[in-house]
Amino acid sequence: MACEPSPSSVASLGEYPHPLLDWTWAPSEPTDGLQARDRLHIRMKGGLKSTIGLDLAVQAAHKAVVLDEQGRFITPVLTLHTRPRELDQLLTRARNGEQEAAVQVVMEPTGMAWFPVAVYGRSVTT
């Protein structure tokens, strides 16, 4: 049985408030006949420079795109796995050369595939 994340499971990530991250849930609108689901939003506090849209996969590679602050695509669809090196490369592309640029990651929680990405996000901002 898959373990679906919930606001309470994400709250366990934030038992100690993080100075740079906000963890929030936002309902999504049903599309293409699919049920509405909550989406986990991990947002850097402060100014937002870009957004990473991350489509998580359980047994295959993840897909990601990076958008600028106006919602324009910065990258084509990228393929990556949950490996620190690959997540570093994605974050570097999203920051577009600005080491401290704020980046928002938007992903639909899929099983527990979201958890390692969330832990990575927390580790690079502490």
What CATH number is associated with residue 115?
3.30.420
The predicted structure's pLDDT at residue 86? 95
The predicted structure's pLDDT at residue 1? 37
Residue 85 to residue 81: CA distance in whole angstroms: 9
| Element holding 117 (H helix, E strand) | helix 114-123
| Phi and psi angles of residue 51, each rounded to the nearest 5 degrees, phi first | -125, 135
Residues spanned by the domain of 88: 7-28+38-123
Residue keyed to tokens 């990405």? 117
The predicted structure's pLDDT at residue 4? 47
| pTM assigned to the model | 0.62
Backbone region of residue 96 per phi and psi (left: phi > 0; alpha: psi in -120 to 50; beta: other values): left
* pLDDT < 50 regions, the chain: 1-4, 14, 16
Percent of the chain's residues with pLDDT above 90: 25
In a domain, 1, yes or no: no
Number of domains, the chain = 1
List the beta bridge partners of residue 63. Answer: 55, 79
In a domain, 23, yes or no: yes
Fill in the amino acid letter for 4. Answer: E
